[in-house]
Structure 1
Amino acid sequence: MFWRDEIKRVISLLLFLVIVFAGCRSNYEKVVKVKNNLGFERKDVVIKINLDEFASSHNEKLSAFIDGKEIPSQLVDNYSDGQSDLFAFLIELKANEEKTVIIKENENKKMFPQRAHAEVSEKRDYKLVNGVYTEGHFESVKSTTTPPGHIDHNFYYKMEGSAWESDKVGYRLYLDWRNSTDIFGKKVPDIVLPTVGHDKDAEGHDTYHSMADWGMDIFKVGNSLGIGTFAAYVGGKVEKVSKTDSTICTILNDGPILASLNIKYFGWNFGKEKTDLKSYLEITAGSRLTHYSHSISTAHKEFCTGLAKHKNTEFIKSDNNSANAWNYIALWGKQSLAGDNDEVGIALFYNNNQLLKLTEDDLSQIVVLHPNENKIDYYFAACWDQEKNGIKNLNEFKNYLNRTVAKLNNPVIIKL
């Protein structure tokens, strides 16, 4: 009896150790094949896969490998719930190339350089003087609700709202009645926005309006649609997201390869409507594109976006008549605040399945869109001829536009 009891105890101990050892091992692997179906190279492609596709119990340990070499990756919160929903990795593909990527748990994940960033910063330790937030300092926050009575140029937000960037370009969105998007031209590939907007010049203006080593605010928005600003189209006129009960901006992801934020507008008044709007903005490493999507439930079916019109620019557009094709409108020319001879390109990419018409007013080139299943999607992009190794002339800009729209119309093929 004694030996039987000992044998049972030994067997139980061995089973326990096997279970513990199996639970500690990081031997999960999944094979993913990614193919470029275009006849030119695609650099810095971000592939996103739903975490439900993986059987890993340690998503935070997931890494991506090609031929045994780890490539940049990150987890992504895609639903604004504070939980990771997607696994994303960064890949380069030659013309018509297919690559095999191994996704597996990795106890020693490599730290890759940050190439995408999103932020919003509030004023702290301030003195409120006649509605203006004086003194104090800015502090980066995960989420912000615009304060009661918030107006433009009151210095509550660094850079006047939220901002995001890749290693190519930066953008910002005013969190006030203007609700417009603007451009930061970058002369360096570094992530720079965390250091921008803290200082003012002798006249009290933000120093990012003057040239710095990293670049500057290069675009004049005014009352136009800037670059990709979202608005309602009511009676043939643009109505921005200006009148709301409250607005909440939340940073969802902050690199290294994908950065995103969402903005919830409660009680948006336009025309005879009052409704809520949820907007999502995303930028990825190596890309100029901002993906701008909007969810809205309303009887109104005409919305719009567009590009600011400036003198000395050339209007360009594509003309793919297929029902679900992506197209673009764009402007190239001397439309920079950085110098009279600087040239800037701005572009907006839209899908024909949401297009109502192209039009214009005195301030903007306008794309009028309708929702599909209460959602509107489009992209915008900017370039500046002072960028390092950037787009320097109209022909290069047209080449960029045509390749970008080809990529949108021919997404990479993913096999799980």
Structure 2
Amino acid sequence: MLKTNSIRLSALVFVLFACNPAVEESSPQILLKNQSSIDLKDKGVIIDFKDLKSEANKFLHIADAEGNSVAYQIDDVNGDGIPDQLFMLVDLKADEEKSLDITWVDSQPKFEQRTAVRFGKRDDIDQPVTPRQEDLFFSHELPKSMGYQPYQTDGPSWENDKVGFRHYFDGRNSKDLFGKKTSKMSPKDVGVNDKGEVEDNYHVMEDWGRDILAVGNSVGLGGITLLKDDQPARLGVLVDEEMSNIYQSSFKIMAEGPIRSIMEFEYRDWDAFDRKYPRIVERVSIVPGMYAYKNEVMFEGLHGDEHLAVGLVNIHNDKGIKEITDFDDWVILMTHDAQGYDKEWIIGMALILPKGQYMEMIEAPKSGKLTDSYLAKMKSESEKTIEYYAVGAWELSEDRFMEAAGFERYLRDLVAHLEAEVSVSIQ
């Protein structure tokens, strides 16, 4: 809530200012209060950018009481070309109150790069891959029909300082997992050889890590579809098909910054259940410090007898799935097993789902175009957004993920972090 200073022109204040003309009005401050009883590290805080009263041709600087710079970025999250949101990361002790000073400076502050998006495409088999910010293709423009794979890593990949993911934007629309062994961002040329050609070079171990998850015909880790009578219809097709059931698919990088990256996928005119769904939107975002990404999903044109299904790949999992329901706002579905390509690594995976929309977990059919998945069945309304988190934790990232108990403890801490509230005011 925006607060403004009011100056009472009392006689005492008038005298003080008259006697000391060097006194200046203090800088604006952001006041934070941790409303929870847990310590918070890298807690995301969002402020409406217009509340900051920016100065022309100046850059924002935010500092704590000790003068330490606070990492932030300013994004256009509604896509109208005008910056509208300040996002920053803060550390707060349990119940702590903290004030941050706002000043406007001549140069842009620099922050450590802790999130990134990688997206490249070639327009012909003989052309090199070039970086792109967005893309659009139609139902007949699939790798099988064109005779080559146009996309670097089969579609966009995104990461933070803990983990990486990718989306098969080549018609399959499933989501994959990159394990990381370093907090640094992985190279921009992953998935491209020295000739600029698309190449699968990310299934071998590198210093930064590698692709670690077998996805098959599932929707992967956090991929989506719809259910009708508990039967799924794949949002897209398999790799060997020449025509998609989605008329138009588009992708855009909305923001790529040091502490937050945001991407948007849009699907137009999807044929499923002998119906046509005019528009489906996924907005994926990632911030530092967590082994997870956030997805916001919206369907238009629902008839009322469908349910959103969020998937959790189930190919190399022999230990089943665990449902954790003792949180106020969220439900956790978790798996933990040797889930690497050849069962060579322990991987913990989870969905963190809004409790108010979660109904039950079902399994995908054993055959068909969508298999090998646990599916979280959600209450769904047309044009209503559902938000959830998809988590991937590799044993080579942290030793605690080798054991199911360690992974579950991490998930519980993460949900407590998500549920914790921080009050924000400006004065």
TM-score of the superposition, structure 2-length normalised? 0.82
Q: Secondary structure at the match of 2:202?
A: helix
1:44 is paired with a residue whose SS is strand
Range with greater deviation from structure 2 (326-335 or 313-322): 313-322
Matched-pair contact (CA < 8 Å) for 1:200–1:207: no
Which of these residues, 113, 128, 134, is aligned with residue 137 of structure 1?
128
Structure 1 residue matching 2:188: 3-state secondary structure: helix
Q: SS of the counterpart of 1:391?
A: helix
Which residue is equivalent to 2:105? 106
Q: CA deviation at 1:114?
A: 0.7
The separation in 1 between residues aligned to 2:194 and 2:173, in whole angstroms, is 23
Q: Distance in 2 between matches of 1:74 and 1:229?
A: 28
1:245 and 2:247 matched: yes
CA distance in 2, matches of 1:189, 1:224: 29
Q: In the alignment, does 2:383 pair up with 1:383?
A: no
Residue 369 (1) aligns with residue 381 (2): no
- Per-residue deviation, 1:234: 1.8
Q: Count how many residue pairs are aligned between Structure 1 and Structure 2.
A: 377
152 and 407 in structure 1: CA distance in 2 versus 1, 3 angstrom threshold: farther
Q: Which residue of 1 aligns with 2:13?
A: none
CA contact 1:165–1:193 (8 Å) conserved in 2: no
Q: Report 1 or 2 for greater relative contact order, CA contacts < 8 Å, sequence distance ≥ 6.
A: 2
One-letter amino acid of the structure 1 residue matched with residue 322 of structure 2 = I
In structure 2, the residue matched to 1:399 is 409
C-alpha deviations, 1:193-242, integer Å up to 9, x for none? Answer: 512111399xx960101111211110011111211101111221122321
Partner of 1:359: helix, strand, or coil? strand
Deviation at 1:79, TM superposition (A): 0.9
Distance in 1, Cα, partners of 2:373 & 2:183: 30
Structure 1, unpaired ranges of 5+: 1-26, 127-132
Range with greater deviation from structure 2 (149-158 or 220-229): 149-158
Equivalent-residue separation in structure 2 for 1:61 and 1:389 (angstroms): 41
Name the structure 2 match of 1:163.
Answer: 157
- CA gap 1:388/1:92 in 2 versus in 1, 3 angstroms: same
* Conserved 8 A contact 2:36-2:421: no
Structure 1 residues 305 and 217, CA gap change in structure 2 (3 angstroms): same
Secondary structure class of the residue paired with 2:184: coil
Structure 1 position 147, deviation (Å): 5.5
Of residues 306, 312, 316 in structure 2, which corresponds to 1:307?
312
Which residue of the partner structure matches residue 52 of structure 2?
54
Give yes or no for contact 1:146–1:175 (8 Å, CA) kept in 2: no
Check whether the contact 2:32–2:98 (CA below 8 A) recurs between aligned residues: yes
The structure-2 alpha-carbon separation of the partners of 1:240 and 1:376, relative to structure 1 and needing over 3 Å to count, comes to farther
Counterpart pick for 1:206 among 200, 215, 234: 200
- Offset at residue 189 of structure 1 (A): 1.0
Q: Is the 8 A contact 2:346 2:401 kept in 1?
A: no
Query: In terms of mean alpha carbon deviation, does 174-183 or 349-358 score higher?
Result: 349-358
Is this contact kept in 2: 1:304–1:367, CA < 8 A? yes
- TM-score (structure 1 length as normaliser): 0.84
In the aligned structure 2, how far is the partner of 1:98 from the partner of 1:288?
Answer: 27
Contact kept in structure 2, 1:74 and 1:88, CA below 8 Å: yes
Once residues 210 and 247 of structure 1 are traced to their aligned partners in structure 2, the CA distance between those partners, rounded to angstroms, is 30
- SS state at 1:286 partner: coil
Structure 2, gaps ≥5 residues long? 1-24, 237-244, 367-371
The residue identity in structure 1 corresponding to 2:309 is C
Counterpart mapping for 1:116-135 below 5 A: 116-123=115-122, 126=124, 133=125, 135=126
Shift of 1:75: 0.7
1:143-177 per-position Cα deviation (integer Å, ceiling 9, x unaligned): 11125623257320000011111011111111133
- Aligned residue in 1 for 2:31: 33
Hey, what's the Cα distance between the residues in 1 that align with 2:375 and 2:297?
Answer: 17
Q: Secondary structure at the match of 2:129?
A: strand
Describe the superposition over 1:77-129 as per-residue Cα deviations: whole angstroms up to 9, x where unpaired: 211233311011121122332221223322233211211012321115x4xxx
Q: Residue 58 of structure 2 contacts residue 106 of structure 2 at CA under 8 Å; is this kept in 1?
A: no
CA contact (8 A) 1:208 1:216 kept: yes
Pair 1:59–1:380, CA change in 2 (3 A)? farther
Describe how 1:167-178 pairs up with structure 2 within 5 A: 167-178=161-172
Which amino acid is 1:306 matched to?
Answer: G
Contact map agreement 1:29 1:105 (CA 8 A) in 2: no
SS in 2 for 1:159: helix
CA contact (8 A) 1:244 1:266 kept: yes
- The percentage of aligned residue pairs carrying the same residue is 25
Residue 226 in structure 1 maps to residue 226 in structure 2: no
Code of the residue aligned with 1:307 in structure 2: it is: L
Give the corresponding residue for 1:18.
none
Indicate which of 325, 332, 337 corresponds to 2:336: 332
Partner of 1:16: none
